[in-house]
């Protein structure tokens, strides 16, 4: 999983570009809306919402925007159309399987945009179930290694039901069953362990490694798709080699 984590780190470094495109608040708003809809509007009892709000604050999202998004999610406010979370499946360049997590109020628009970009890149949008079997949904947590003791994190994570705990460079990663998401988050917080990232994500059961030029082509396609307002996350089966990561960082 280290390749996916390094890719995420590189994307964070390139986050300033997203801010220029005005997409950060849009995505944060949708994340808050969906979290509030699923678990209610209380950040003390809704772990996913608490994380979404903290992320929004770290991006200087105005308090009123956050409160408006929460009310929209709980149904207190009827402002705007209703979002729904949908997963689409398909293949990118060179046959790399992809899952697209979308928050949208217009399925037709989302499908049309995904199909257009994939086709342009030499990929295709698939039917439901066409690639989903190649992924597993898990609860994922990232802890900055410089601010935590690995043994302590490992102990707390195992007690919280973790399936795996690994250190990859500057990050300690925890993988747990989806149903342990809140339990794990609360356990880490109670132990005063800083959480850098926490989410439910799809991880590939098997990965494919491509030559650097082909890997970069796939990653550029993923970046284009992630630029779509309706797309929250793109999961893929590409294994990132050290050479591909180095080439990608040189572009960051």
More confident residue, 42 or 26: 42
CA-CA distance, 252 to 248, in Å (whole number)? 7
- Residue-wise pLDDT for 125-144, tens only, equals 999 899 999 999 999 999 99
Range of 105's domain?
86-133+205-251
- Residue-wise pLDDT for 48-87, tens only, equals 888 889 888 878 888 999 999 999 888 887 776 677 889 9
Tell me if 36 is assigned to some domain: no
Tell me if 144 is assigned to some domain: no
Tell me if 242 is assigned to some domain: yes
Which letter does DSSP use for residue 135 in this model? E
Tell me if 74 is assigned to some domain: no
Tell me if 197 is assigned to some domain: no
Tell me if 108 is assigned to some domain: yes
CA-CA distance, 106 to 82, in Å (whole number)? 9
CA-CA distance, 27 to 59, in Å (whole number)? 11
How confident is the prediction for the chain on average, in pLDDT?
86
Q: What are phi and psi of 118, to 5 degrees?
A: -65, -45
Tell me if 212 is assigned to some domain: yes
Least Cα distance to 38 among 30, 189, 112, 230 occurs for 30
- Are 157 and 183 in contact by the 8 Å Cβ rule? The answer is no
CATH number at residue 116: 3.30.70.980
Rg, Å, the chain Cα set: 18
Tell me if 105 is assigned to some domain: yes
In this prediction the pTM is 0.82
Query: So what's the pLDDT on residue 246?
Result: 79
Query: So what's the pLDDT on residue 1?
Result: 47
Total domains present in the chain: 1
């Amino acid at each position: 999983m280290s390749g996916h984590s390094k890719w995420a780190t590189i994307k964070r470094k390139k986050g300033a570009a997203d801010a220029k495109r005005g997409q950060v608040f849009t995505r944060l708003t949708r994340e808050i809306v969906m979290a509030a809809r699923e678990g209610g509007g209380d950040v003390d009892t809704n772990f996913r919402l608490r994380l979404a709000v903290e992320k929004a604050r770290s991006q200087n999202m105005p308090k009123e925007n956050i409160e408006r998004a929460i009310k929209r999610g709980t149904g207190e406010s009827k402002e705007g159309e209703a979002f729904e979370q949908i997963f689409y499946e398909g293949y990118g360049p060179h046959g790399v399987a992809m899952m697209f997590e979308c928050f949208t109020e217009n399925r037709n628009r989302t499908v049309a945009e995904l199909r257009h970009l994939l086709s342009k890149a030499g990929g295709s949008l698939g039917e439901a179930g066409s690639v989903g079997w190649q992924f597993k949904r898990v609860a994922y947590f990232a802890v900055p290694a410089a601010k935590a003791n690995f043994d302590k994190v490992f102990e707390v994570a195992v007690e919280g039901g973790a399936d795996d705990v690994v250190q990859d460079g500057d990050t300690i990663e925890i993988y747990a069953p989806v149903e342990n998401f809140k339990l794990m988050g609360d356990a880490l917080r109670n132990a005063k362990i800083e959480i850098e990232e926490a989410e439910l994500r799809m991880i590939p059961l098997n990965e494919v490694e491509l030559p650097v030029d082909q890997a970069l082509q796939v990653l550029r396609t993923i970046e284009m798709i992630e630029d779509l307002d309706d797309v929250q996350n793109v999961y893929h089966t590409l294994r990132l080699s050290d050479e591909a990561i180095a080439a990608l960082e040189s572009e960051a």
